[in-house]
Chain A
């Protein structure tokens, strides 16, 4: 086995340059935009026996010990991204924290509604004098990620603290994307920049813009941008409401053309422009119970460095080292391979189980849930519990790259 090369800096640099907001995969929208292609495909139906409805294969983990521990191990994927309404924002606006952030927003409260859901995502944003993102509080309702439950996120100084209330766990990670997204949002909300950007897109032939300025000064100005039939935003319409007195954007409605009708799919409301936000909003003090599990991935490197190992090799190696650490009752080391869970929590979870030997590990295979971007490693170990020796068989131990620690791999999900 080759010694891993120390190229962490290069991994980080490449992630920084190439890493991107996950593309929005929306098959329903694609179907609407490509009726001819859909027709071509579906016209083939009936030439051969038509298949029945889709069925997802159920993953069955039979070990009773698996079930015991699965309830205890709680760290899940951290999904910090939000649905920013428009991906066409030029990099100069949204993706770079330029020296002069070029917008007038200094604080803002956003309520982001999704069609069909009552509870909005909420964001409280504080910017510094230069317009750089200083603090963010975000609330993500359970519908955004049912497996995680509702989350509260506090972002400051490049760190995001994520409070998983349902799982009674606080996770701290390095993160820059959330602040970049928030900066992009502020620049989109800034009325001057928002209109400037839409004009730019109009000149490029991407959108048709209409401005309706009611004579009644109490009524908002409506800026409507309708995307043309070409491109990934075909059928999209954005309506900005601009307060006539303050000239601030107060709401942003997003519509999608469906059945010859523009149907609302999202609404963002903007409140409390440049109103001082209570600093207490940007701390979780008092919200986290004393017995909550705390994992700080900013003060420790989690998992195992990949070096020159292949994904499959490093996944197997992570699993092997994890069980080896448990055999030695080195809970601190074992926790490092399990998202960085603290030693005392590991002892609490795994102390009653004595791992005697590794019977088999691997080979790794793609995880049955491709969305995890992980690998599944089958493992069988011999254990002793309550004086009885038995085999502990895990069909699919999940291993994947650590969030925001490129090149390092960890076990994820339940054990």
Chain B
């Protein structure tokens, strides 16, 4: 263990130490991944408050179950799995349906700023879950492709490629609804 020290830059050391009950190491992992768990939960719940609550529960579950983690190198992906489960449980328990998918959603009119925002939101939450996770994590707080790749257990190249495809789908959806870059005021 690096001469008795835990190296904050070494995730595997932090995870190993946390598995052995070292709370400070778990705290370092919490600080490293808390924002990303909020973003991931938000991609499923479409509600910021619920997403924060979910992230809190994710780390509680991680604390309890960290011994079940088989590969210390995959801590972020393991955490993401817990996050998806917690978020699904919250969706079921609260009968929450992401606001962007509500049935009373009205078709957008291209000239209205609020409708345009709704259309973009709708486009994002219409994506498949895996694509939505990518888009939300990328734009929620500007996580790098490398950070996203750890959480979603993909290579950075795969993140890049899938992100491009997901953005194309969003753009296509908006185009079908009469919204393009020209409406946005930039080109």
Residue-wise, chain B 129-171 has the 8 Å CB interface mask toward A (1 for contact) of 0000001101111111111000000001101100010010011
Asked if residues A14 and B35 are in contact (CB atoms below 8 Å), the reply is no
Contact of B23 among A7, A42, A365, A370 (CB under 8 A): A42
Which residues of B are found within 8 Å of A50, using beta-carbon distances?
20-22
Asked if residues A52 and B170 are in contact (CB atoms below 8 Å), the reply is no
Asked if residues A45 and B60 are in contact (CB atoms below 8 Å), the reply is no
Contact of A43 among B21, B22, B170 (CB under 8 A): B21
Residue of A nearest to B52 (CB): A232
CB distance from A315 to the nearest CB of B (A): 9
Quick check: is A41 within 8 A (CB to CB) of the other chain? Answer: yes
Which residues of A are found within 8 Å of B138, using beta-carbon distances?
14
Query: Given A19-B139, A42-B23, A232-B53: A312 and B35 within 8 A (CB)?
Result: no
Q: How long is the Cα–Cα vector from A210 to B171 in the complex, in angstroms? A: 49
Name A50-99 residues within 8 Å CB distance of B.
Answer: 50-57, 87-88
Quick check: is A374 within 8 A (CB to CB) of the other chain? Answer: yes
Quick check: is B26 within 8 A (CB to CB) of the other chain? Answer: yes
Asked if residues B52 and A23 are in contact (CB atoms below 8 Å), the reply is yes
User: Among B62-70, B78-86, B102-110, which stretch is in contact with chain A?
Assistant: B62-70
CB distance from B60 to the nearest CB of A (A): 4
Residue-wise, chain B 47-61 has the 8 Å CB interface mask toward A (1 for contact) of 011001101100111
**Size of interface on B: residues with Cβ below 8 Å to A:** 74
Contact of B19 among A44, A54, A368, A373 (CB under 8 A): A44
Asked if residues A37 and B64 are in contact (CB atoms below 8 Å), the reply is yes
Q: How long is the Cα–Cα vector from A51 to B12 in the complex, in angstroms? A: 13
Quick check: is A1 within 8 A (CB to CB) of the other chain? Answer: no
Q: How long is the Cα–Cα vector from A7 to B181 in the complex, in angstroms? A: 8
Name A268-316 residues within 8 Å CB distance of B.
Answer: 308-312
**Size of interface on A: residues with Cβ below 8 Å to B:** 63
Asked if residues A15 and B139 are in contact (CB atoms below 8 Å), the reply is yes
Instruction: Identify which of A8, A23, A232, A309 gathers the most chain B CB atoms within 10 Å of its CB.
Output: A23
Contact of B25 among A31, A33, A54 (CB under 8 A): A54
Asked if residues A370 and B147 are in contact (CB atoms below 8 Å), the reply is yes
Q: How long is the Cα–Cα vector from A15 to B2 in the complex, in angstroms? A: 41
Residue-wise, chain B 9-42 has the 8 Å CB interface mask toward A (1 for contact) of 1000100011111111111101110110010001
Contact of A14 among B157, B170, B185 (CB under 8 A): B170
CB distance from A373 to the nearest CB of B (A): 5
Asked if residues B18 and A41 are in contact (CB atoms below 8 Å), the reply is yes
Asked if residues A38 and B144 are in contact (CB atoms below 8 Å), the reply is no
Residues of A within 8 A of B (CB): 6-20, 22-23, 25, 27, 30-31, 33-34, 37-38, 40-57, 87-88, 230-232, 308-312, 365-366, 368, 370, 373-375, 400-401, 406
Residues of B within 8 A of A (CB): 1-9, 13, 17-28, 30-32, 34-35, 38, 42, 48-49, 52-53, 55-56, 59-61, 63-64, 66-67, 116-117, 120-121, 124, 135-136, 138-147, 156-157, 159-160, 164, 167, 170-171, 174, 180-181, 184-187
